[in-house]
Amino acid sequence: MNKALLEQVIAICKNAGEAILEVYHSSAELEVDTKADDSPVTAADLAAHKILAPALEQLIDGVPVLSEEQEMPSFAERSQWQRYWIVDPLDGTKEFIRRTGEFTVNVALIENGEPVLGVVHVPVLDITYAGGKGDGAFKRTLSGDTEIHVRPLKPRLEAGDAVELVASRSHGAGAVDQLVERIESKLGAVVCKNMGSSLKLCLVAEGAADLYPRLAPTCEWDTAAAQAVVEAAGGTVVDDSFKLLRYNSKDSLLNPFFYVIGDASYDWQDLLNAESPVN
């Protein structure tokens, strides 16, 4: 993947993050509207979208943008797209409203259903996770760039370390609790961290967690950017049938339930009771 292109996307995401922070730090009362799917939307979501969409459209001629904050094209139109940008201008709007800081700007480039470039920017911390197919992944902070990699599980198990899961603060807690019990019965201690937005995938990508089970609904723009980072860092993202999570293959933009796996060499499929093999 073109390094210059990745840097351009990072710069655009940082600009969107600055627009989000203007709303976040404003003394004015935050107005929250509700969209047709009952999800919240704020002025920050819309401000970020207005920066991201036109800027991305100019990066590669003829490559369209699919953003959460726009009217959705029909599948008949989308199915003709071999390359497109998919954008969540503000992932973690509920966390934004709660002022936890756990929200991100997500941008991915999709090619033939596969996320091949991804940027996840964390405005409050001024941290960016980025990666591209074949080029690895890195975490950018004020101190500079650090390559990130998923971590192996076997040495941790041999050392008696706990398996570390990351899970949503808002969704799917009951199903995750059952999964934790199953993992504990087979592998021993499990530590579960709760966090908002696509930061959960990024923790797996940087080797700070072993598994992120998502057993509640998400949309494709919620996951694509961070999935690109995870895969560039050596991990994998599979659906609940253990098939690679892919994009723009159906009318609905809802994802199936999925697992973000750090050490793909470990037999997670058997542990998680999936039914079909990894592709």
The C-alpha atoms of residue 32 and residue 94 are separated, in whole angstroms, by 10
Residue numbers of the chain with a pLDDT score lower than 50: 274-279
The C-alpha atoms of residue 60 and residue 161 are separated, in whole angstroms, by 46
Chain centroid, CA 97 distance in Å: 19
Residue with tokens 């599980």: 153
- The reply, when asked if residue 91 is annotated as ligand binding, is yes
- The reply, when asked if residue 90 is annotated as ligand binding, is yes
Inter-residue contact 243 to 76 (CB < 8 Å): no
- The reply, when asked if residue 93 is annotated as ligand binding, is yes
pLDDT computed for residue 172 by the predictor: 52
pLDDT computed for residue 36 by the predictor: 72
- The reply, when asked if residue 88 is annotated as ligand binding, is yes
- The reply, when asked if residue 34 is annotated as ligand binding, is no
Each residue's pLDDT tens digit, 259-270:
999 999 999 998
The C-alpha atoms of residue 192 and residue 212 are separated, in whole angstroms, by 9
- The reply, when asked if residue 218 is annotated as ligand binding, is no
Q: Enumerate residues 6+ apart whose C-beta is below 8 A from 180.
A: 165, 190, 192
pLDDT computed for residue 169 by the predictor: 65
- The reply, when asked if residue 77 is annotated as ligand binding, is no
pLDDT computed for residue 277 by the predictor: 40
* Complete domains list, the chain, with CATH: 3-148 (3.30.540.10), 154-271 (3.40.190.80)
Alpha helices by DSSP H, the chain: 3-24, 43-57, 75-78, 93-98, 154-158, 173-187, 199-205, 220-232, 268-271
pLDDT computed for residue 49 by the predictor: 97
